Amino acid sequence: MFHDPTLQKIAERFEPHTLYAVGGSVRNAILKIPPSDIDLAGEPIPEEVMRLAGDGLTVKPVNPRVGTLLLALDGKEYEYTTFRRDNYDISGNTGHGFAGKAARGIEAENSMPNGAGRYAVCRGIEEENSVPNGAEIRGIEASDFKKGQHVPNEVVFTNDIAEDALRRDFTVNALYYDLKNKRVIDPTGGTEDIKNRILRTCAAPEKTLGEDGLRLMRLVRFAAEYGFEIERETYAAAVAHSDLICDISGERIRGELVKILESDESGARRKDAPYRGLKLLSDIGVLGRIVSEFQDCVGYEQTAKYHKYDVFTHTLYTVANAPKEIRLSALFHDIGKPPCFREHGNMHDHAAYSVEIAKKRLGQDGLKFPIAVVRHTLELIRHHMFDIDGKTSTNKVRLFLQENESIALDLAELKRADYAAKGVVGDECDSAEKMKRIFYDMKKEGIPFSVGELKINGNDLKRAGGTGAEIGRALKGVLRACATEKGLGTYEEQLKRAVMLLKIES
C-alpha cells in the first residue's frame, strides 16, 4: 500500500525531510484492512511545501492556518498536514469542570500516556526509550483547550512528531509510516493498543474529548467498526463529559451519526457494528443528548406477546436488520411509542408521534439532513404500520402502492426489519412479502403509477368536453381504476372511462 510509486515520488520531493503516512491508513495496514484514503504529515510548513509544486505535483491550500494542504500527482490526491500542536482556551467555559485538570501522564519525565514516553518503531516492533530528536514533552494545562468545539485559539508548528501525536484523538490513530525508511513510528503506544484491541486517548481523556466533543462519537464509531473495547479511563471520561456533544453543530453530528449507522460497511466490516455503535452511544449518554426522546425508549417495555425487547433494544435490532439506505427511518420508526402511550394508554398511533419527533430532530432546527432525505424518512415512518397484520385487501394495497411508489420497496424493507426485530416471531414478514409481490405484479402488468403514465392526457379530455378541475379529477379516477380493474390498458379504454367520469360529474 505505502509502496505506491506516486507516494514514493512525493516522498522524494520532501527530502531531506521525511514524509509520513499518518492515521487511519497506518492503523488499517496493521489490521490488514484496505484504507479508504491516505493522509500525509511531516515537518515542512505550508510555505515550504508550496514551493515543491511543479513537474506534475500540484499543491493547493486547504486550511493553511492549521498546516493542511492538498497534494496531487499522477491523478491521485493526498491531504498533507504539518506537524503541530494545538492550544485551546477555556474562556467562556460554562461549567464542564475541566479547569485545573492536568493532561494524563504528560507532565512528568518521559511518562507519555500508555507508557508512550518510548519512541516505538514497528517493524518488529522495536522500541527506543527516547523521544525523537531529543524533543521535550512540555506539560499541557487545562487552559490549552476550549470545551468541545474543535477551535484551537493557537496553532504552533513543530518538528516534534511526538507532540503532533499528542494532539490526535486515539492512540490507534496516532501512527506514522516513514515512507523513506519504511517503518512505523508509534509515539503513543498505538500498535500495542491495536494488538490488544483497545481504544484510548493520546493524552488525558478529559483533554482530548474537551478539544472536540465530536470525538465522543468517533470513539464510539471506532469501537463499533473495529470491535475494540474502550479503555476504562477513556470510557469514564466520555460518560462524565457526554454533554460536550452539545457544543457541536448539527451538521458535524449528522456526519458521524450516518457513519455509525453504516459502520458495518467500513473498518473491519463487522455485522454487529451499527447495533454496538448505537448501544455505546446511548450508554455513554450522547445519543440522549442528541435526541432526548431516545432516553424514554430505553427500558420502555412492550407487549410481551409481540415484542421480546424494550422499545430501544427493538429499535437497535431494526436498524441492524435494515439495509443502510433506510437505517435512519429504522432508528426513528418507534421513537413516538412512549409519548403515544402516555397520552392514550396504547401505542396504536405511535407512527404519527414518531413522524413529528423525527421531523423536528432531523430537520433544519436539528441535525440538518437534506430536505429530500427527511421527507423520504418521514414517509417511511408514517406508513410502516400499514397492513401490519397482512389482512388488507389486495385492491387497497394496490391503491396504496400506486400512491406511494417512491417508498414502496423501502417500506417493505423497513417492515421486514421491524418484524425481524420483535424477537418473538420468525424472520419472514408476510406483510412485507405481500407488498413486494403486489408491487412487482403491478409493474409487470404495466399499471400506471402517475397521471403522466396514462395513455390519455388533459387535451384528450378537453376535446371530449371536459373543463377545469373536472379534467384532473377524471384523470385521477382513471388512474385509480387502472390499479384495481382489468381492461384499462389501452388509449381507447382509458378515454372511454374518463368520458364516463366526466358525464357523472356533469
| Model pLDDT for residues 488-506, shown as the tens digit of each residue | 999 999 999 999 999 987 6
Residues 89-103: tens digit of each pLDDT = 644 444 333 222 322
Whether 498 maps to a domain, the answer reads: yes
Integer Cα distance of 51 and 46 in angstroms: 9
Whether 314 maps to a domain, the answer reads: yes
Domain that holds residue 392: 291-445
The reported pTM is 0.86
The pLDDT of residue 100 is 28
Q: Please check the confidence at residue 142 and state whether its pLDDT lies above 50.
A: no
The pLDDT of residue 64 is 82
Evaluate the omega torsion of the peptide bond into residue 113 and state whether it is cis, within 30 degrees of 0.
Answer: no
What distance lies between CA 416 and its chain's CA centroid?
Answer: 22
* Count of structural domains within the chain: 2
The pLDDT of residue 122 is 36
Whether 315 maps to a domain, the answer reads: yes
In this predicted model, which residue has the larger pLDDT, 465 or 426?
A: 465
Whether 11 maps to a domain, the answer reads: no
The pLDDT of residue 88 is 80
Name the DSSP class of 357: H
Whether 219 maps to a domain, the answer reads: no
Integer Cα distance of 287 and 257 in angstroms: 9
- Which position has the grid cell 488499517? 28
* Judgement on whether residues 472 and 438 belong to the same structural domain of the protein: no
The pLDDT of residue 336 is 98
Integer Cα distance of 93 and 123 in angstroms: 44
Residues 2-39: tens digit of each pLDDT = 889 999 999 999 999 999 999 999 999 999 998 879 99
Contact predicate 340/314, CB 8 Å: no
Give start and end residues of each alpha helix (H) in 241-367.
250-261, 273-283, 287-290, 293-297, 311-321, 327-332, 337-344, 350-362
Average pLDDT of 376-387? 98
The pLDDT of residue 504 is 86
* Judgement on whether residues 390 and 463 belong to the same structural domain of the protein: no
Whether 153 maps to a domain, the answer reads: no
Percentage of the chain modeled with pLDDT above 90: 83
Give one DSSP letter per residue of 379-440, joined into a string.
Answer: HHHHHTTTTTTS-S-HHHHHHHHHHTGGGHHHHHHHHHHHHHTTSSS-S--HHHHHHHHHHH
* Judgement on whether residues 462 and 429 belong to the same structural domain of the protein: no
Residues 193-204: tens digit of each pLDDT = 999 999 999 999
Average pLDDT of 390-406? 98
Q: Among 445, 463, 486, identify where a domain stops.
A: 445
Integer Cα distance of 364 and 362 in angstroms: 7
Contact predicate 146/96, CB 8 Å: no
* Judgement on whether residues 369 and 493 belong to the same structural domain of the protein: no
The pLDDT of residue 149 is 56
Residues 292-307: tens digit of each pLDDT = 999 999 999 999 988 9
In this predicted model, which residue has the larger pLDDT, 49 or 138?
A: 49
Contact predicate 188/116, CB 8 Å: yes
The pLDDT of residue 424 is 87
* Judgement on whether residues 312 and 355 belong to the same structural domain of the protein: yes
Q: Among 395, 417, 445, identify where a domain stops.
A: 445
Question: Measured at the alpha carbon of residue 328, what is the angle toward residues 323 and 331, in degrees to the nearest 5?
Answer: 100
The pLDDT of residue 492 is 97
* Judgement on whether residues 482 and 367 belong to the same structural domain of the protein: no
Average pLDDT of 395-405? 98
Contact predicate 30/184, CB 8 Å: yes
* Judgement on whether residues 354 and 464 belong to the same structural domain of the protein: no
Whether 468 maps to a domain, the answer reads: yes
Q: Read off the C-alpha cell for 20.
A: 509520513
Exposed/middle/buried for residue 114 (C-beta within 10 Å: 0-12, 13-18, 19+): buried
The pLDDT of residue 379 is 98
Give 3-state DSSP helix, strand, coil % of the chain, rounded to 5.
Answer: 50, 10, 40
In this predicted model, which residue has the larger pLDDT, 42 or 153?
A: 42
* Judgement on whether residues 321 and 352 belong to the same structural domain of the protein: yes
Q: Please check the confidence at residue 125 and state whether its pLDDT lies above 60.
A: no
Name the DSSP class of 101: P
pLDDT band at 105 (very low <50, low <70, confident <90, very high): very low
Q: The CATH number of the domain where 356 resides is what?
A: 1.10.3210
Mean pLDDT of the chain: 88
* Judgement on whether residues 300 and 420 belong to the same structural domain of the protein: yes
Integer Cα distance of 236 and 257 in angstroms: 21
Q: Please check the confidence at residue 227 and state whether its pLDDT lies above 90.
A: yes
The pLDDT of residue 209 is 95
Percentage of the chain modeled with pLDDT above 70: 87
Residues 232-273: tens digit of each pLDDT = 999 999 999 999 999 999 999 999 999 999 999 999 999 999
From residue 251, alpha-carbon distances to 84, 124, 129, 150, 294 in Å are: 26, 42, 43, 14, 19
Whether 31 maps to a domain, the answer reads: no
Backbone angles phi and psi of 296, in degrees to 5: -70, -30
Backbone angles phi and psi of 127, in degrees to 5: -135, 140
From residue 102, alpha-carbon distances to 96, 97, 118, 145, 223 in Å are: 14, 12, 21, 11, 26
pLDDT band at 107 (very low <50, low <70, confident <90, very high): very low
Sign of the CA dihedral with 233 first, then 234, 235, and 241 last? positive
CA-wise closest residue to 75 among 5, 164, 177 = 5
Lowest pLDDT segment from 64-68, 218-222, 249-253: 64-68
Q: Please check the confidence at residue 137 and state whether its pLDDT lies above 90.
A: no
Exposed/middle/buried for residue 268 (C-beta within 10 Å: 0-12, 13-18, 19+): middle
Contact predicate 119/128, CB 8 Å: yes
* Judgement on whether residues 463 and 439 belong to the same structural domain of the protein: no
Q: Please check the confidence at residue 114 and state whether its pLDDT lies above 60.
A: no
Residues 415-426: tens digit of each pLDDT = 999 999 999 877
Average pLDDT of 323-347? 98
Q: Among 445, 468, 488, identify where a domain stops.
A: 445
Contact predicate 46/4, CB 8 Å: no
* Judgement on whether residues 295 and 405 belong to the same structural domain of the protein: yes
The pLDDT of residue 398 is 98
Return the SS3 of 12: helix
CA-wise closest residue to 67 among 89, 47, 91, 87 = 47
* Judgement on whether residues 357 and 407 belong to the same structural domain of the protein: yes
The pLDDT of residue 159 is 96
Return the SS3 of 41: strand
pLDDT band at 117 (very low <50, low <70, confident <90, very high): very low
